[in-house]
A and B are shown apart, each in its own frame.
Chain A
């Protein structure tokens, strides 16, 4: 399904926090997003003038949840001037949005419960996957404070780097343990090192994996050619050919 053409105004209806993460809920009646798709977001007022006189361009943010009656939810972590501005928005203020954009996750075969492997802010699109199709969430966080965002999932298994909650270690160790019990496809999103490790595990266990990758984006709709990743067929634009790619396609 195609996105409405152009940038539009959306009121901020919801703001809540999970540890350092901020959930923003925007009213967008016109669109129905697929899990794995994203929007380009900017604040309607005061976009710019932060650190380094930025932000200037809109920021790519995954759809975390497609609520009823045109409510679109996003999960943000402050990492720079763009996410800082979005995180400080209050209910009643406005967003400028373009989307939904990109090629999302494929629907799993009937009866298949995929493994949803998320690291840090990369858990966001997996909330939408679990809402739409179910699946066992395996989530990796820095510490217990960040792991508060695990509440967004039903029955997740959690690991932390410092052992302050759940398994002490990498989320890929949880993944290995689950695959040892039952072979099933993987949907993953997280930092590059985590995605790399997930691909290696998927290869060893001979299961399919779909990975949502990140790249710096200027436009989000295929116009600038700025967001490429290397694949077996050369560079591909993450915003239109991804952000979800079959793990076997990435170089």
Chain B
């Protein structure tokens, strides 16, 4: 049993946001999904105040041992999440729910936190701060002082554990983590995808409909290890480590670097039950895994 922000978890492996849609997976795999649920907690994809259609296709590009995505955070918006998703999740989920949210202004984030406050199904909130600031073009979480100020504004709006999902696209991720802690975050999670560009074959410009994208998978594993280890040395709050985890040995490396939990993202695309395998391999202390 693992204790994380007051949640009691069966093992240290959860899913990375946007990399597992439990309601879609239930339609595909039926009850077996819940009998062998791969994660110790379930993190939703990013929910925004208003519905978003997401980016035009193509949304995916396969790179060397990795994936560049430009999905564009499609979601039905806060109201649809409360009315449709939450009741379905409450009925189905065998593990605690962490709802991932994003807003382009402190007011927007505050409004979302207010609405989630009364929802008992939501055990914790993960705040995605990789949203581009319209004025600067930088991610809102890329500046440590700005991130601390955002947290000071929104933290009082929620009594639930608040995990800040840091952006890796910044000069000093440890300083951002310290800013999140100073602003009242209960935990930080990292890394989100690294900004990346895929060119269309034949020289006709960007391949992805959204322009640039975010790189995930084994290609970012060593970057994740470096960032998680620097952040864990800098803050005293728990750290959720992710980025390219595909085996128990990869998960072990992040835990050894100071993470309390690890999240599995892209590897679940290759094997929907990857979370269970990784948790089992961790448990066995198994280190020699082919992937």
**A222 touches B (CB below 8 Å):** yes
Partner pick for B66 among A56, A216, A235, CB 8 A cutoff: A56
**A235–B266 alpha-carbon span in the complex (Å):** 22
- Chain A 211-224: CB-based contact to B (< 8 A → 1; otherwise 0): 00001111101111
| Cβ B25 vs Cβ A98 within 8 A | no
Q: A220: nearest residue on chain B (CB-CB)? A: B269
Q: Do A7 and B271 form a contact, CB below 8 Å, given A55-B62, A223-B21, A228-B57?
A: yes
Expressed in whole angstroms, the minimum distance between the Cβ of A128 and any Cβ of chain B is 19
* Interface pick from A17-25, A46-54, A201-209: A46-54
Q: B268: nearest residue on chain A (CB-CB)? A: A223
**B197 touches A (CB below 8 Å):** no
**A229 touches B (CB below 8 Å):** yes
**A42–B53 alpha-carbon span in the complex (Å):** 31
**A2–B269 alpha-carbon span in the complex (Å):** 18
| Cβ B62 vs Cβ A56 within 8 A | yes
| Cβ B29 vs Cβ A221 within 8 A | yes
Q: B65: nearest residue on chain A (CB-CB)? A: A56
Contacts between chains A and B (CB distance < 8 A), count: 125
**A7–B29 alpha-carbon span in the complex (Å):** 11
Q: Do A221 and B272 form a contact, CB below 8 Å, given A2-B30, A5-B29, A229-B57?
A: yes
**A6 touches B (CB below 8 Å):** yes
Consensus secondary structure, chain A interface: loop
Q: Range of interface residues on chain B?
A: 35 or more
- Chain A 53-81: CB-based contact to B (< 8 A → 1; otherwise 0): 11111100000000000000000000000
Chain A residues in contact with chain B, CB under 8 A? 2-7, 42, 48, 52-58, 96, 98, 101, 215-219, 221-230, 234-235, 237, 240
Interface pairs (25), CB distance under 8 Å = A4-B32, A5-B32, A5-B272, A5-B273, A6-B273, A7-B270, A7-B272, A54-B62, A56-B65, A57-B62, A58-B269, A216-B60, A218-B60, A218-B67, A223-B269, A223-B272, A224-B19, A224-B60, A224-B71, A224-B269, A228-B57, A229-B57, A235-B57, A237-B24, A240-B24
Chain B residues in contact with chain A, CB under 8 A? 18-21, 24-25, 27-33, 36, 45, 53-54, 57-60, 62-67, 69, 71, 74, 217-218, 266, 268-274, 276
